[in-house]
Amino acid sequence: MTYKIITDSGSNVVTLPNQNFASVPITIMAGGKEYVDDANLDIHQMTDELSQLSSKSSTACPNIGQWMEAFAGAEKIVAITITGALSGSYSAAIKAREQYLETHPDAQIFVLDSRSAGPRMQLLLEYAAQLLAEDCDFMTLTQKLSDYQTKTGLLFSLESLTNLVNNGRISTTAAKVSNLLKLRIIGTDTDGKLASVGKARGQAKAISLLLKEMQANNFNGKKACISHCFNETGAKALKEKILAVAPDCEISINETRGVCSYYAEVGGLLVGFETA
């Protein structure tokens, strides 16, 4: 049986070593231009152009056809999507599953709404890969992956709120106050939706608050994934903070792709972590 792990570009993951893997792109639409979040997207150019805009912007999820194309050739499929609260990617994947099973009735397809984004999705994808490497049967894999999802968390620090305003996620007034006071917003994914948990002035205080919130959310000290939008200095500083309290923690750092760069903006940090 041919296994395949599939995600959308909200995960920031472009490859999974030793796995049959695919990523379907989300599209960012702004200023009359479409930015397809695939391997060819110039993230630096996109963030530069978006920073100059004050008009409405939005995202478009992968369509059913794109998910169907990603499913092709596989008989056992694990698909993990960005939160359904931000995108229609999960709904499209479910509809693609239904259509694929009409012509491939023996296939097994598990579609998981991550109820999150970025590095928390990365944790789920890497755990799915681990289970496949262990020759876990499909039903056990789906149960273990669902259980693991409940033992992960996401936190983020945002330096700019421009795109969230242009996307209608927060009010212009709230963004102006944060910019005026040079505050970073610290947030999480509550029930799949972005929610603020605090504010901090400056990156150092923001990183300290991220760690504090990780600990408050029962961080187990074993694994964390950090993503950053052109803020490697901040990502490394957060890694050092985590290692100071959890010296054996496995920590990876990567750059945000298109959709997470759109939401996090330049300077943004996201951290996915395992919980007890």
Rg (CA), the chain: 18
Phi/psi of residue 7, nearest 5 degrees? -140, 175
Q: How far is residue 45 CA from its own chain's centroid?
A: 21
- Give per-residue pLDDT as tens, 66-109: 999 999 999 999 999 999 998 999 999 999 999 999 999 999 99
Q: What is the mean pLDDT of the chain?
A: 92
Res. 22: pLDDT tops 80 = yes
The whole-number average pLDDT for the span 149-162 is: 90
164 or 24, which is more confident?
A: 24
Phi/psi of residue 122, nearest 5 degrees? -60, -45
> What domains can be seen in the chain, in order of their start residue?
3-26+61-149 (3.40.50.10440), 152-275 (3.30.1180.10)
171 or 211, which is more confident?
A: 211
| pLDDT at residue 56, rounded to an integer | 86
76-81, strands of its sheet edge to edge: 21-24, 3-8, 76-81, 108-113
The whole-number average pLDDT for the span 237-266 is: 97
Half-sphere exposure of 104 (CA within 13 A, CB side): 18
Contact between 271 and 244 (Cβ < 8 Å) = no
Contact between 274 and 220 (Cβ < 8 Å) = yes
Contact between 121 and 257 (Cβ < 8 Å) = no
Where is average pLDDT lowest: 82-86, 164-168, 229-233, 243-247?
164-168
Reported residue count of the chain is 276
Neighbours of 56 (CB within 10 A): 12
| pLDDT at residue 182, rounded to an integer | 64
| pLDDT at residue 196, rounded to an integer | 86
